[in-house]
Amino acid sequence: MSVHKVSFVCQRCLTLIKIHPSFSSIDEHTLAELHLPLYTPPPMELDASGESDGIVDKFVPGTTSQSSSITSTSRAGGFTVVGTSSDISPQEGNQLKTQMELFDIISNNTEIDHPLCDECTDTLINLLDTELRAAEEESNQYADFLKRLEHEPENEDVDGLEEQLRELKKEEARLKGELNELKIEEATSFENLQKNKTEYNRLRDQEEEFLKEYCRYKRQINEIEDYGVTLDCELKYVDSQLERLEKTNALNATFHIWHSGHFGTINTFRLGRLPSEPVDWNEINAAWGQTALLLNSLARRINFKFSNYQIVPFGNHSYIKVLNDNTELPLHATGGFRLLWDTKFDSGMTAFLDCLSQLQSAMLERPGKTGFALPYKMFEKGKVEDPNTGKSYSVKTQFNSEEQWTKSLKFMLTNLKWALAFFSTLTDND
């Protein structure tokens, strides 16, 4: 058989509480005395929600595990008893009724619903102590004020007080007027503040747009400046290259005439042969091709036309064309045995020396300019004279030694080197 125990809950925190056995039996006289009002409670201060500070004054719904419960509904606040009515004995019912009636009496005489647990009771006592101290302070203030009134003289100047009251009312009216003016000024200031806020927001948005525009233009300026610096560097590089090119002679860079032992060389190709140092004819032919290209370039430099000859540079198969009979005189040979009447190679070298002599005459006969003479004199029939010894050397191979032929070619290359240096000093006007 299950036993159901009836319990009370705290009307503030809903905690189950245990009732002392002394509350189970109270006589009728004690109950009658308890029904008398203890004191007239002062009005309690309520918070914004309309409830008293720290006090639960509301109906708490009952909680039970059974289908029905016994509750006290004598007040709007009330309290909850957990349990079922069918399981309560008559003795327990009388004790419960006495306890409920006792709690109703206490709740009716105060603003607090009972029963309360120990913690809530301590909180209530602290609250009541605070109210008591506040009431005592207020009572002391009233007592002090009453003593001051008792000691004040009775013959006060009523007219003076009335005049002072009128002045205070005027001052109050003036202050109210100032207050109204200040309210109007406040409203105007608030309106101006709203306008200023609107203007501030507009200016802030405008500033953001301006900063974006500024950053965009700044980036473009930086790119343009970088491009300008790049152009300046390129211009300086081009100027340096131009200056270097102006100081560089294309003919000197293209045709390098020097010597290698007894041989005169042009672009490292040796021109001539010696018994002790035979040079391959392919190298000799290549040297003649470079020499023909140089002489033709010098003539074109001053728009000079050779008389009766046309030099045709063609690598190691270059030749000189005779304009009168339209024949070709080769500036290349294969070596080996040749017939006595096979003199085309010698005729080509003789014609080349004649063309160089014509170019020297053009250099000496410049109008209004100082002439320029080559170091080695050149004569007809392909001879070159050494000014130191006065001895002449032929550029022909027949009836000539290889040593003399090589020396004559070296003198011819020397004349070409001097002519090249002279033409390097000429300007476009020259």
Q: With left for phi above 0 and alpha for psi between -120 and 50, is residue 22 left, alpha or beta?
A: alpha
Tokens coding 26: 């109270």
Domain presence at residue 157: no
Which of 70, 105, 128 is the last residue before a domain boundary? 128
In a shared domain, residues 259 and 114: no
Domain presence at residue 208: no
pLDDT reported for residue 142: 92
Domain presence at residue 201: no
Which of 111, 128, 145 is the last residue before a domain boundary? 128
Could you give the angle at the alpha carbon of 424 between the alpha carbons of 237 and 364, nearest 5°?
A: 160
pLDDT reported for residue 58: 36
Measured distance CA(118)–CA(296) in Å, rounded:
131
Q: What is the pTM of this model?
A: 0.46
Domain presence at residue 196: no
pLDDT reported for residue 50: 43
Domain presence at residue 417: yes
Tokens coding 382: 């392909």
> Which residue blocks in 248-280 are alpha helix, DSSP H?
250-254
Residues of the chain with pLDDT under 70: 1-7, 22-29, 31, 33-89, 91-92, 109, 152-156, 336-342, 366-371, 427-430
Tokens 């160089």, residue? 356
Number of domains the chain contains: 2
Q: In terms of residue numbers, what domain contains 325?
A: 251-424
Nearest to 44 by CA among 127, 101, 104, 136: 127
Tokens coding 11: 């009307």
Measured distance CA(89)–CA(246) in Å, rounded:
134
Helix (H) or strand (E) holding 236: helix 158-247
Measured distance CA(95)–CA(26) in Å, rounded:
9
**Bond prior to 115 in cis (omega within 30° of 0):** yes
Question: What letter would DSSP give residue 82?
Answer: E
Helix (H) or strand (E) holding 408: helix 402-424
284 exposure class (CB count in 10 Å sphere: 0-12, 13-18, 19+): buried
Domain presence at residue 225: no
pLDDT reported for residue 86: 53
Measured distance CA(116)–CA(106) in Å, rounded:
11
pLDDT reported for residue 201: 94
* 266: number of Cβ within 10 Å: 22
Nearest to 409 by CA among 306, 308, 253, 283: 283
Task: Please measure the distance between the N-terminal and C-terminal CA atoms of the chain and give it in whole angstroms.
Answer: 144
* 26: number of Cβ within 10 Å: 15
pLDDT in tens, 223-276: 999 999 999 999 999 999 888 877 777 777 788 888 888 888 998 899 888 888
pLDDT reported for residue 66: 33
Cβ atoms of 4 and 84 closer than 8 Å: yes
In a shared domain, residues 257 and 122: no
pLDDT in tens, 304-342: 888 888 999 988 889 999 988 888 899 888 875 454 446
Measured distance CA(344)–CA(356) in Å, rounded:
18
Which of 93, 128, 163 is the last residue before a domain boundary? 128
Domain presence at residue 156: no
Domain presence at residue 137: no
Measured distance CA(13)–CA(107) in Å, rounded:
16
Q: What CATH number is associated with residue 327?
A: 1.10.418.40
Rg for the chain (alpha carbons), in Å? Answer: 69
pLDDT reported for residue 70: 34
